[in-house]
């Protein structure tokens, strides 16, 4: 009798494929399912978890699947920690379910790749579902992209953790992530490309929040003959020899910072689009600079402040606090390094229709020749005026200096 049973088991199909178009109750040997929805949602019932112990089951929505007409995966009410029915809502949505005899898991609870390989440990070499709720790697409560709720946790939660050391030779790289996203056809008039989109939604009290935090920490001495630049966050924008015509509101930016407050929002501290906090505890051989603009080739302005509102105080605000003494509000310097350089105009005022401030106009100053313009200085509410003149009304020797 034992030999007869052994023979029966050997004759059984051990890798069964099925493509149901209606509700279907799986057997322990339905290893591969490709359900197709016709006119109504399909419910797939898993085999008994105890009988399926140690087995994997692949279920992939084959076609006509939508959020209204889904494929619903349910257990037999016998699995531990079953969080509710699983819904496949897009063609291509899939599951790899594993039974440990007591519970179902969408793949093993923990996957450890420990073997050394010459190629990729994990490779995704085909397309997957599209839309904001599908991804090559999805971390969510279900395949529909529902938020995965941890609840209250008295510890840190890390979504991705990488800890790696290496020695790189031959001018090569160690990269945390290397991505290339390229167009295959035109996106049309409204398509976007985004390398990284990170959104932090603070709907409750949070001490600090950072969508991106870049930090470069130098903990070892660097030799000057090989060590060059070290950057916390690097932004680069290039136009590679092609004609680029943009809309009137467009532009090309290596780094863009936008800060705004919507109607009804309030804030009791400054709103700043870009903040740079710079300082060295000890004096160093090089300069310590908060913001530096390098002007190369054709470059019109190192810094431009473009005002679109009358609700403002000044284009540039220089302030000293905490008993600090600012050496100069503005310092002009022309270096002789690489050949004598010049600052052609320390200040230049263009024609403008303004009744206050610095402006150019033929203004008559009492007991003075006709001036070409005047600078108005406000000191604690008292106005002072500095006239300036064309070289023709100034002593020639002085005007040439």
pLDDT digit string (tens) for 72-95? 999 999 988 887 888 888 888 888
Give the three-class secondary structure for 257: coil
Taking the alpha carbons of 99, 102, 103, 105 in that order, is the dihedral positive or negative?
A: negative
Q: Mind listing the pLDDT tens digit for each residue in 162-188? A: 999 999 998 899 999 999 999 999 987
Q: What pTM did the predictor assign?
A: 0.65
Q: Which residues of 240-262 are buried (b: 16+ CB within 10 A; e: fewer)?
A: eeeeeeeeeeeeeeeeeeeeeee
Q: Determine contact, residues 356/314, Cβ cutoff 8 Å.
A: no
Give the containing element (helix H, strand E) for 59. strand 56-60
Residues whose CB falls within 8 Å of the CB of residue 307, separated by 6 or more in sequence, listed in order = 315
Residue in this structure with the two tokens 């949602």, named with its chain if needed: 41
Residue in this structure with the two tokens 């599209």, named with its chain if needed: 130
Residue 53 DSSP label: T
With vertex at residue 211, the alpha carbon angle to CA 206 and CA 215, rounded to the nearest 5 degrees, is 110
Residue 42: count other Cβ atoms within 10 Å of its Cβ: 23
Q: Determine contact, residues 80/102, Cβ cutoff 8 Å.
A: yes
**Alpha-carbon distance 134 to 155, whole Å?**
29
Residue 46 DSSP label: P
| Residue ranges covered by each domain of the chain | 1-111+123-151, 331-401
pLDDT at 239: 95
Nearest to 279 by CA among 287, 267, 268, 269: 287
Tens digit of pLDDT at every position of the chain (401 positions): 444 443 444 444 455 888 999 999 999 999 999 999 988 999 999 999 999 998 889 999 888 888 889 999 999 999 888 878 888 888 888 888 888 899 888 754 455 555 566 777 777 777 888 888 888 888 888 777 888 888 898 999 999 999 999 999 988 999 999 999 999 999 878 889 999 999 999 999 999 999 999 999 999 999 888 899 999 999 999 999 999 999 999 999 999 999 999 999 999 999 999 999 999 999 999 999 999 999 999 999 999 999 999 999 999 999 999 999 998 888 888 888 888 888 887 777 665 444 555 555 544 444 445 567 667 776 777 877 777 776 666 555 444 44
Q: Mind listing the pLDDT tens digit for each residue in 10-59? A: 444 455 888 999 999 999 999 999 999 988 999 999 999 999 998 889 99
- The tokens for 331 are 């310092």
3-state helix, strand, coil in the chain (%, to 5): 5, 15, 80
């Amino acid at each position: 009798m034992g030999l007869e049973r052994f023979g029966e088991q050997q004759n059984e199909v051990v890798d069964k494929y099925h493509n149901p178009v209606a509700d279907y109750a799986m057997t322990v040997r339905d290893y591969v399912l490709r359900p197709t929805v016709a006119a109504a949602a399909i419910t797939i019932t898993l085999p008994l978890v105890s009988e399926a112990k140690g087995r994997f089951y692949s279920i992939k929505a084959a076609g006509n699947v939508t959020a209204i007409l889904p494929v619903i995966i349910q257990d037999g009410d016998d699995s531990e920690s079953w969080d509710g029915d699983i819904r496949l809502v897009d063609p291509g949505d899939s599951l790899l379910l594993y039974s440990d005899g007591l519970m179902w898991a969408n793949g093993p609870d923990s996957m450890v790749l420990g073997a050394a390989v010459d190629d990729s440990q994990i490779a995704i070499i085909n397309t997957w579902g599209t839309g904001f709720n599908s991804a090559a790697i999805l971390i969510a409560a279900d395949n529909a992209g529902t938020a995965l709720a941890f609840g209250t946790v008295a510890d840190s939660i890390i979504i991705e953790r990488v800890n790696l050391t290496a020695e790189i030779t031959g001018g090569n790289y160690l990269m945390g992530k290397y991505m290339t996203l390229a167009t295959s056809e035109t996106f049309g008039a409204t398509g976007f490309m985004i390398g990284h989109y990170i959104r932090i939604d603070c709907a409750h009290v949070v001490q600090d929040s950072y969508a991106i935090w870049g930090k470069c920490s130098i903990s070892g001495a660097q030799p000057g003959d090989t060590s060059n630049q070290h950057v916390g966050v690097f932004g680069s924008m290039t136009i590679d020899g092609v004609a680029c015509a943009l809309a009137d509101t467009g532009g090309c930016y290596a780094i863009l910072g936008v800060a705004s407050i919507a109607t009804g929002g309030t804030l009791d501290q400054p709103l700043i689009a870009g903040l740079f906090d710079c300082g060295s505890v000890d004096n160093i051989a090089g300069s310590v600079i908060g913001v530096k603009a390098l002007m190369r080739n054709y470059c019109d302005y190192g810094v431009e402040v473009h005002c679109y509102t009358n609700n403002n105080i000044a284009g540039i605000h220089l302030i000293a606090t905490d008993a600090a003494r600012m050496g100069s509000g503005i310092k002009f310097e022309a270096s002789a390094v690489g050949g004598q350089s010049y600052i052609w105009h320390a200040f230049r005022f263009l024609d403008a229709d303004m009744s206050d401030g610095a402006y150019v106009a033929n203004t008559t100053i009492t007991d003075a020749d006709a001036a070409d313009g005047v600078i108005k200085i406000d000191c604690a509410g008292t106005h002072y005026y500095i006239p300036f003149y064309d070289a023709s009304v100034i002593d020639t020797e002085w005007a040439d200096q």
